[in-house]
Amino acid sequence: MSFSTDRPASWQACIACGNETVDHDPATRCRQCGGLLEVRHRAPQLTRAELLEKFTERRGGPRGPGATSGVWRFRELVMPGAELLVSHPEGNTPLLHRTALDEYTGVAHLDLKHEGFNPTGSFKDRGMTVGVTQAVRIGARAVVCASTGNTAASLAAYAAQARLAALVLLPAGAVAAGKLGQALAYGARAFQVRGNFDDCLRLVEESSTRLGLYLLNSVNPYRIEGQKTIIFELLQQLGWDPPEWIVVPAGNLGNLAAFGKALRELREYGMIGRAPRLVGVQAAGAAPFAMGFADGFQQRHHVDPHTVASAIRIGNPASWDRAVAAIRETDGLVITVTDDEILDAKAAVDRSGIGCEPASAAAVAGVRQLAQAGRIRHDDRVVAVLTGHLLKDPGTPAHPAEEIEPTVSALERAIATASRD
């Protein structure tokens, strides 16, 4: 079908065949061809100046999720028809700068958009507030996702707020303890699947409709709408003056897809004149999208994924086609970093006092690699997105804590001994 006249506030369209469907259709793939869907909105009936005024007014506003959420502040571009919001609130994450990390990466000014400051500690909350709001709008009773951990924690929290049953499918033995603990604490039922993330995602895609569960992985286009606000918010923080580069870790490719769509819409609405170049950074052992980039995206690649960064241990990313568009439209790059580079970058981010989980450090490792290769020039303005909080996955500490007797002399002796790092 297609809407010719009287377009509603929002609808969904298949990015492969163009088939359109109403905004409350619960199917997360095109019913005609199985392609990925995207949400489309009627262009806001406001000028650029009026939109900017609204976004500025609401920022840090006094009451209600519409004002205090860094997602719903942009609701004209996210879900204009939303009424009952399931909002924590979320977003409003800081843009951080540390000279130590300029020095580490070799760029003159690196800003870090730290999405670990979201309520459950990762960027997933931005997509989940919209996804669970949509679940309530369409009358879903139970929600489900496959996850390497962060999506599960976020889904569990928002489902609890909306009083929906939540089920999460996780690769057995491969999820950081903090993330699994969060999902269980918020009340989700967790299933440890004997397989990897890709097996979990295949299983939920095959079973959700039959089991009456609303699927909230980022194949669901409403998740993408929420994740666009990482871009909206960081550009607002930069006075709508885009940097040259935005660098993000890439796993299932939901973020790259969302960033591409956000930049496309901002250009369409005249909010920015030029798009930054997007860079997706994959772990070398889980890099099917980087393989695709290397061959001009002639074919889809699958790998058996291995990396220390469990959040991005993904071999068959779902948002492939959307992310290809994002890279092509922004003259973007997709690169790989080794596990050693990831751990080295994580140590640098942690020692700067900021901290992040391993997958997030891939973005900083990517900036360093591109700066060393001269692809990012010293004076280019760069934003790297840190996707998750240090406490999600503290892993092996850089050096051990030292145990002492509770006496002044023991403390004095211990301090006098050379520190171990």
In the complex, the smallest distance separating the C-beta of residue 386 from ligand F0G, rounded to whole angstroms, is 8
Q: Report 241-260 residues binding ligand F0G (CB under 6 A).
A: 249-255
Which residue number, 119 or 251, has a Cβ lying nearer to ligand F0G?
251
Examine residue 355 and tell whether it contacts ligand F0G (CB under 6 A). Answer: no
Determine contact, residues 106/368, Cβ cutoff 8 Å: yes
Which residue number, 87 or 387, has a Cβ lying nearer to ligand F0G?
387
In the complex, the smallest distance separating the C-beta of residue 319 from ligand F0G, rounded to whole angstroms, is 7
Select the span of 22-30, 33-41, 66-74, 352-360 touching ligand F0G (CB under 6 A): 352-360
Contact mark string toward ligand F0G, 292..331, x via CB under 6 A: -------------------xx-------------------
Which residue number, 79 or 176, has a Cβ lying nearer to ligand F0G?
176
Taking the C-alpha atoms of residue 12 and residue 15, their distance in angstroms, rounded to an integer, is 9
Instruction: Count the Cβ atoms, other than its own, within 10 Å of residue 81.
Output: 13
Options 20, 23, 357, 380; binder of ligand F0G; rule CB under 6 A = 357
Residue 167: strand pairing partners: 144, 189
The CA-atom distances, in angstroms, between 168 and each of 30, 141, 330, 376 are 23, 15, 34, 39
Find the farthest-apart pair of alpha carbons in the chain and give their distance in angstroms, rounded: 82
Taking the C-alpha atoms of residue 397 and residue 404, their distance in angstroms, rounded to an integer, is 19
Taking the C-alpha atoms of residue 227 and residue 74, their distance in angstroms, rounded to an integer, is 11
* Burial status of residue 336 (CB atoms within 10 A of its CB: 0-12, 13-18, 19 or more): buried
Taking the C-alpha atoms of residue 12 and residue 39, their distance in angstroms, rounded to an integer, is 4
Options 10, 120, 147, 229; binder of ligand F0G; rule CB under 6 A = 147
Closest to 100 (Cα-Cα) out of 419, 364, 320: 364
Which residue number, 282 or 352, has a Cβ lying nearer to ligand F0G?
282
DSSP 330: T
Options 28, 87, 151, 352; binder of ligand F0G; rule CB under 6 A = 151
Examine residue 196 and tell whether it contacts ligand F0G (CB under 6 A). Answer: no
Amino acid at 153: A
**């009451």: which residue's tokens?**
63
Examine residue 336 and tell whether it contacts ligand F0G (CB under 6 A). Answer: no
Q: Residue 257: CA atoms inside 13 Å, Cβ hemisphere, count?
A: 26
Options 89, 119, 332, 388; binder of ligand F0G; rule CB under 6 A = 388
Which residue number, 226 or 276, has a Cβ lying nearer to ligand F0G?
226
In the complex, the smallest distance separating the C-beta of residue 182 from ligand F0G, rounded to whole angstroms, is 11
In the complex, the smallest distance separating the C-beta of residue 20 from ligand F0G, rounded to whole angstroms, is 25
Which residue number, 76 or 115, has a Cβ lying nearer to ligand F0G?
115
In the complex, the smallest distance separating the C-beta of residue 173 from ligand F0G, rounded to whole angstroms, is 15
Options 315, 360, 368, 369; binder of ligand F0G; rule CB under 6 A = 360
Contact mark string toward ligand F0G, 95..124, x via CB under 6 A: ---------------------------x-x
Examine residue 332 and tell whether it contacts ligand F0G (CB under 6 A). Answer: no
Select the span of 129-137, 147-155, 228-236, 264-272 touching ligand F0G (CB under 6 A): 147-155
- Spatial neighbors of 140 by CB under 8 A, at least 6 apart, are 26, 164, 214
Examine residue 387 and tell whether it contacts ligand F0G (CB under 6 A). Answer: yes
Which residue number, 110 or 318, has a Cβ lying nearer to ligand F0G?
318
**Phi then psi dihedrals of residue 284, to 5 deg:** -55, -35
> Angle at which helices 254-268 and 320-329 pack, to 10 degrees?
50
Instruction: Count the Cβ atoms, other than its own, within 10 Å of residue 141.
Output: 10
In the complex, the smallest distance separating the C-beta of residue 262 from ligand F0G, rounded to whole angstroms, is 13
In the complex, the smallest distance separating the C-beta of residue 46 from ligand F0G, rounded to whole angstroms, is 30
Which tokens hold the place of 179?
A: 């993330």
Taking the C-alpha atoms of residue 75 and residue 331, their distance in angstroms, rounded to an integer, is 28
Examine residue 341 and tell whether it contacts ligand F0G (CB under 6 A). Answer: no
**Phi then psi dihedrals of residue 157, to 5 deg:** -70, -45
DSSP 311: G
- Residues in contact with ligand F0G by CB under 6 A are 122, 124, 147-151, 218, 249-255, 311-312, 357, 359-360, 387-388
